[in-house]
Amino acid sequence: MPQTLNFPTPPPFIIIHGGAWDIPSPLLDLSVVGVEIAAREGLTILLNGGTALDAVEVSVQSMESDPVFDAGYGSALTRSGAVEMDAIICSGVSENFGAVACLTKCKSAVKVARKVMEDSEHTMFVGEGADDFGKLKCPEDVVGGEELISEYAREHWERFKDYKGPVNELFNKGEEQKHPGDTVGAVAVDKFGNFASATSTGGIPFCEGGRVGDSPLPGCGADADNEVGACSTTGHGESLSRVKASRRVMEKMENGATPGDAAEAVLERMLKVTGGRGGIIVAKANGGGVGFSFSTVKMPWAVGCEEWGDKIESGILPNGKK
């Protein structure tokens, strides 16, 4: 049974996730601190009258630069030991999105994704095309690739590099949640009533080079529509893509579900249909508040809103505990 929570919070607000997996004890506090900092940075933008798009971008960038998470610096490594990042950013006003997949040469995949949305004719760039676009639009962020490999990601890869079995077995059975899958995401609504969402990831560890999960795919890794709300997902990417997780969450909300219950229903169905697990953060339009659900053991989350002032609610389990 997924673990679920709803906050009937009025906008503006922001909700953050830091990946759904069985986070080991040494990383618990760091994960909560990381999502709290991200929530606070995004909330500050919202409280100063900024847009939901700016808030989710800044929050996700904050976690991309934190090696605790599987995104940007600290990304999980592919079987060949490389970093390949995917990200998406979605605007609820325009129902536009920008995405990149298999980006290797820029430190913030979400920043490049936003440039794709706002500064290109297209919605997604992949591989070399993504790197070339990133170099052109974010020259200040260009890296060689090695700089994105954290000590933890390197050690983790060394420990498992001889594993020859299917990566999906690692991710969805027994060992699954011991493996980092701590993708990051943010969902926000601003004082103008505009929704936005963003997701950024280094993918699942040991995946084949060139593999693309759910994260950069609209309707899978994220979605946003001012009439319905917005969401961001994490977990086993092939499963989230198969069930079009984000789109289904939006449909459930259109049919009256609360944000947390919509996420829970989709995760339950995903487990039944694919055997995969994950987590989803959601905001609902027309005063429907914000919520989340996860079917893994843990998921770091944080919520901040204007009504609570400086206070950020956070945790690893729905009751705020670790």
User: Of 109-117, 231-239, 242-250, 286-294, which segment contacts ligand ASP by CB under 6 A?
Assistant: 231-239
Strand 124-126 relative to strand 97-103, pairing: parallel
* Cβ-based neighbours of 143, under 8 Å, separated by 6 or more: 105, 106, 107
The reply to whether 235 sits in an annotated binding site is yes
Give yes or no for residue 314 binding ligand ASP (CB under 6 A): no
Q: Is residue 104 close enough to count as binding ligand ASP by CB under 6 A?
A: no
Task: Report the catalytic residues.
Answer: 183
200 and 63 Cβ atoms separated by less than 8 Å: yes
Q: Is 75 in the site for ligand ASP (CB under 6 A)?
A: no
Q: Which is nearer to ligand ASP, 201 or 258 (CB)?
A: 201
> CB nearest ligand ASP: which residue?
237
Tell whether residue 74 is among the known ligand binding residues.
Answer: no
Task: Give the shortest CB-195-to-ligand ASP separation in angstroms.
Answer: 21
Q: Which of residues 189-228 bind ligand ASP (CB under 6 A)?
A: 201, 203-204, 213-215
Per-residue contact flags (x/-) with ligand ASP for residues 45 to 74, judged by CB under 6 A: -------------------------x----
Determine if 2 is a binding residue for ligand ASP (CB under 6 A): no
98 scored as a contact of ligand ASP (CB under 6 A):
no
Q: Does 181 bind ligand ASP (CB under 6 A)?
A: yes
- Which stretches of the chain bind ligand ASP, using CB under 6 A? 19, 70, 181-183, 201, 203-204, 213-215, 234-235, 237, 240
List the binding residues for substrate.
211-214, 234-237
